[in-house]
Amino acid sequence: MPPRSPLSRGDRDLLEFMLDNNYSYRSMARRFNCCSDTIKRILMREELAVFEGAKYSQQRQVETWKRPCLKCKAETPRPKWQYVCNDCKSPENSGVPDEFMKY
């Protein structure tokens, strides 16, 4: 299996340098002999930059569960490991029993 990243350490450093110095994606692309879309994808994959828009976004699915809320027993889906629903999560209501805090 070839490594996932086609970038050598030096290439990555160069990209980072170009980013820091506000080079355009086009000049980065020219330097790396690819199109600017590819450069953007590489930057994303190397987590050097984040781009808006579905074209480049990697869907990061938040895991949810329907565990009944510790306080009001509501079973509305919420992010996993969140034990109380958003309504009960408000600061003035944030008294979660200790035993549920040490997962």
- Residues that bind Zn ion in the complex, under the rule CB under 5 A: 69, 71-72, 74, 85, 88
Side-chain half-sphere exposure of 4, counting CA atoms within 13 A: 4
Residue whose CB is less far from Zn ion, 37 or 87: 87
Q: How far is the CB of 80 from Zn ion (least distance, A)?
A: 16
Say if CB 85 and CB 78 are below 8 A apart: yes
Residue whose CB is less far from Zn ion, 34 or 74: 74
13, containing H or E segment: helix 9-20
Q: How far is the CB of 15 from Zn ion (least distance, A)?
A: 46
